[in-house]
């Protein structure tokens, strides 16, 4: 132990218990580096066994804390964004690690070259379960320029490369957990431990530190091995940990203001340090921060059923988790001259008004909604069937820089109209607008009819996606599906700096362990399949389980989590039956 650490651990330390926990972690960091792949696989298997007994209490407690009524379909949100996602990651990492020697885990992954020479790996579907549960959905991870088909293996799983020295020296990382989505903290912990070989001190956000009751037993295999500690505390504890001598790296999921306070300092001191380019905290810091995320609606030959389904999709993009998502749609970009614009916007408002919701559980929401209303004089209140009301406002992009630069992180939506009815010209204009006017690069959604893609041309459409600078792009889906997919990468588009961090630096999740990913592209069918060839009415079409309008989401969330615990063909019929009734 160095002298600095010894002084911190003296009797005068304000947090002696934290010091002892950090000392334990620091003592095990080199041991963790040398933990075998076989034991790491076993750890994930143990975590699954520890998690499943507390999964229901986890989901139901989180729903109650967020103001979701007992028995509401919206409880399914907590199943999917909590136990399900953690179990799915365990499965995918076990699969990767079982084949990581010689990079054999890449053998089943189709790889192609994009029009600009970049490489894209098709990471989903990759199994019979993917084809059954995610029919028609694809997930591609695009690599950074310079990675080729021939060099992809050399740029994958470097931590597990026998010739690499990266895994010879351990580190201790501080993970500052997010307060909104339950799976974020454990997945960030997994990334540090298994992708970067760092032991972890997890400091939970006070908003959801009730999850410690569930994360402690679920992650017991890591805690027992002395490579993870979970603590609670307010800003003072976070500041102490960020500056602790034992902490070598930091990962934060949260707000840009919190990130800057860590790096540069608070208040006037922070502003002066940032202006001078002299960080107060010089540790390596990775981050996943918020954004003003867009959804682009491309004009096309939509039927009334299409309008209804996509209205539910956009309503979900905005109101999943009551709007407290860093990838919630904040700016809806629609074509001003589209003949179906009015019908779509009207249906969207009807869908929002008839939907159920939770409460304004996240601190500061009322103030942010008041700021939204003050900066959008034409804002209207949409009264909901239950739950909190939603604000919606037209946006004049020529004058409302507030809406384009401030993440509302609450149930409020701006709608902006861009001229043009030609699909390709409109999409290009919308991409330019999103790239150049909206703050952040975390996630962007595009809603587009397959006939419109054919009209533009698939190759040209993909060229346009290349120009859209976001870490996750969802086509006829929500970027949240990328979060739920362990094989996908999660984070901002590369290129941000500490001085202009926007949506953050680095990526997480990424269960295939790509070392140089650029982004993830998710694509889903424009509309789901009917129950049978004779049942073509929209009312008979199934809704994805994450839709806020799915009437069986609670049941599906539980069934899908139990499927991830032990995948089996015998579990598929019950999932399908409830999906068709959703």
Among 415, 212, 195, which residue's Cα sits nearest to residue 297? 415
Reported as half-sphere exposure (CB side, CA atoms, 13 A), residue 240 has a value of: 20
**CA distance to 4, 193, 228, 480, per residue, from 24 (Å):** 16, 15, 9, 36
Which segments of 339-415 does DSSP mark as H helices, in order? 341-353, 365-375, 401-405
Helix axes 423-437, 458-467, angle to 10 degrees: 10
Q: Which residues pair with 295 in a beta bridge?
A: 332, 445
Nearest to 384 by CA among 419, 413, 427: 413
Q: Is the peptide bond before 125 cis (omega within 30 degrees of 0)?
A: yes
Angstrom distance (rounded) from CA 518 to CA 489: 8
Closest CA to 402 of 318, 292, 502: 292
Rounded Cα distance between 334 and 346, Å, is 13
List helix spans (H) across 207-300: 212-218, 220-224, 235-242, 256-264, 267-276
Q: How deeply is 428 buried, as exposed, middle or buried, from its count of CB atoms within 10 A (0-12, 13-18, 19+)? A: middle
pLDDT at res. 185: 98
* Structure confidence at residue 351 (pLDDT): 97
CA distances 264 to 205, 410, 498, Å, are: 21, 27, 9
Please check the confidence at residue 535 and state whether its pLDDT lies above 90.
no
- Specify the pLDDT at position 165: 46
Q: Read off the pLDDT band of 481 (50, 70, 90).
A: very high
Least confident range from 70-79, 151-160, 303-312, 382-391: namely 382-391
Q: d(Cα 213, Cα 401) in Å, to the nearest integer?
A: 42
Cα separation, 198 vs 192, in Å, equals 5
User: What does pTM read for this prediction?
Assistant: 0.95
pLDDT at 501: 97
534, pLDDT greater than 50: no
pLDDT of residue 8: 47
Q: Strand pairing partners for 201?
A: 174, 229
Q: Which pLDDT value is given to residue 11? A: 55
Q: What is the mean pLDDT of residues 556-576?
A: 95
Per-residue pLDDT for 192 more than 90?
A: yes
Tally helices (H) and strands (E) across the chain: 23, 18
Average pLDDT on 437-445 reads: 97
Residue 560 scores a pLDDT above 90: yes
Percent of the chain with pLDDT over 90: 88
Q: How high is the mean pLDDT of the chain? A: 93
Using CA atoms, how far apart are residues 93 and 105, in angstroms rounded to an integer?
Answer: 10
Residue-wise pLDDT for 225-267, tens only, equals: 999 999 999 999 999 999 999 999 999 999 999 999 999 999 9
pLDDT tens for residues 372-407? 999 999 999 999 988 789 999 998 755 678 999 999
**pLDDT attached to residue 163:** 67
Q: Do the beta carbons of residue 256 and residue 502 sit within 8 Å?
A: yes
Per-residue pLDDT band for 10 (boundaries 50, 70, 90) equals: low
pLDDT value, residue 529: 55
Q: What domains does the chain contain, in order, with CATH numbers?
A: 3-100+157-254 (3.40.605.10), 293-476 (3.40.309.10), 538-580 (no CATH)
Are the C-beta atoms of 450 and 526 separated by less than 8 Å?
Answer: yes
> Helix, strand, or coil here: 444?
strand
Q: Which of 2-11, 30-39, 42-51, 137-146 has the lowest mean pLDDT?
A: 2-11
User: What is the Cα–Cα distance from 271 to 329, expressed in whole angstroms?
Assistant: 30
Q: What is the CA 331 to chain-centroid distance, rounded?
A: 18
Q: Has residue 120 got a pLDDT over 80?
A: yes
Report how far apart the first and last C-alpha atoms of the chain are (Å, whole number): 58
- Residues paired with residue 293 on neighbouring β-strands, in sequence order: 329
9 or 510: which leads in pLDDT: 510
- CA neighbor of 427 nearest in space, from 375, 464, 380: 464
Rounded Cα distance between 282 and 287, Å, is: 14
Which residues on neighbouring strands pair with residue 523, listed in sequence order? 138, 475
The residue-averaged pLDDT of 20-34 equals: 96
pLDDT at 3: 46
Determine the pLDDT at residue 396. 72
């Amino acid at each position: 132990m160095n002298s600095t650490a010894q002084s911190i651990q003296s009797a005068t330390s304000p947090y002696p218990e934290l010091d002892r926990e950090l000392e334990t972690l620091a003592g095990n960091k080199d041991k963790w580096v040398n933990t075998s792949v076989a034991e790491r696989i076993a750890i994930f298997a143990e975590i699954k066994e520890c998690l499943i007994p507390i999964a229901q209490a986890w989901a139901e407690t989180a729903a109650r804390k967020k103001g979701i009524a007992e028995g509401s379909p919206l409880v399914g949100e907590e199943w999917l964004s909590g136990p399900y996602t953690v179990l799915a990651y365990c499965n995918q990492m076990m699969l990767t690690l079982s084949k990581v020697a010689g990079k054999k885990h890449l053998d089943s992954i189709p790889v192609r070259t994009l029009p600009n020479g970049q490489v894209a790996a098709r990471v989903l579907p990759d199994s019979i379960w993917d084809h059954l549960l995610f029919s028609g959905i694809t997930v591609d991870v695009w690599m950074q320029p310079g990675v080729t088909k021939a060099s992809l293996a050399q740029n994958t799983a470097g931590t597990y490369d026998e010739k690499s020295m990266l895994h010879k020296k351990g580190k201790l990382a501080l993970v500052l957990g997010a307060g909104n989505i339950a799976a974020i903290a454990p997945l960030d912990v997994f990334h540090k431990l298994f992708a970067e070989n760092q032991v972890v001190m997890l400091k939970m956000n006070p908003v959801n530190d009730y999850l410690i009751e569930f994360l402690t037993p679920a992650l017991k295999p890591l805690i027992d091995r002395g490579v993870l500690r979970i603590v609670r505390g307010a800003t003072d504890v976070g500041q102490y940990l960020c500056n602790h001598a034992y902490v070598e790296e930091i990962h934060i999921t949260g707000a840009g203001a919190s990130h800057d306070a860590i790096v540069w300092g608070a208040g006037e001191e922070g502003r002066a340090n940032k202006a001078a380019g002299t960080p107060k905290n010089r540790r390596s810091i990775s981050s996943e921060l918020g954004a003003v995320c867009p959804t682009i609606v491309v004009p096309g030959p939509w039927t009334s059923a299409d309008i209804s389904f996509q209205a539910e999709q956009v309503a979900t993009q905005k109101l999943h988790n009551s709007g407290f998502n860093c990838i919630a749609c904040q700016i809806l970009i629609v074509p001003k001259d589209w003949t179906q614009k009015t019908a779509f916007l009207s249906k969207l408002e009807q869908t929002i008004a008839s939907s159920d919701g939770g409460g304004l559980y996240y601190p500061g929401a009322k103030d942010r909604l008041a700021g939204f209303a003050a900066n959008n004089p034409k804002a209207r209140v949409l009264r909901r069937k239950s739950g909190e009301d939603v604000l919606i406002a037209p946006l004049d992009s020529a004058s409302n820089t507030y809406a384009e630069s401030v993440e509302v992180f609450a149930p409020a939506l701006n709608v902006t109209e861009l001229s043009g009815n030609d699909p390709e010209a409109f999409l290009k204009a919308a991409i330019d607008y999103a790239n150049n006017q909206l703050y952040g690069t975390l996630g962007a959604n595009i809603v587009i009819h397959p006939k419109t893609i054919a009209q533009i041309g698939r190759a040209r459409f993909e060229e346009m996606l290349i120009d859209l600078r976001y870490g996750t792009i969802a086509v006829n889906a929500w970027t949240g599906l990328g979060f739920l997919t362990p094989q996908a990468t999660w984070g901002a588009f590369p290129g941000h700096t500490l001085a202009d961090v926007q949506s953050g630096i680095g990526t997480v999740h990424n269960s295939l362990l790509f070392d140089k990913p650029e982004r993830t592209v998710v694509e889903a069918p424009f509309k789901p399949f009917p129950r049978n060839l004779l049942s073509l009415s929209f009312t008979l079409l199934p809704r994805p389980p994450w839709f806020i309008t799915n009437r069986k989401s609670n049941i599906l969330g539980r069934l899908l989590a139990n499927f991830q615990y032990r995948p089996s063909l015998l579990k598929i019929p019950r999932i399908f039956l409830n999906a068709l009734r959703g």
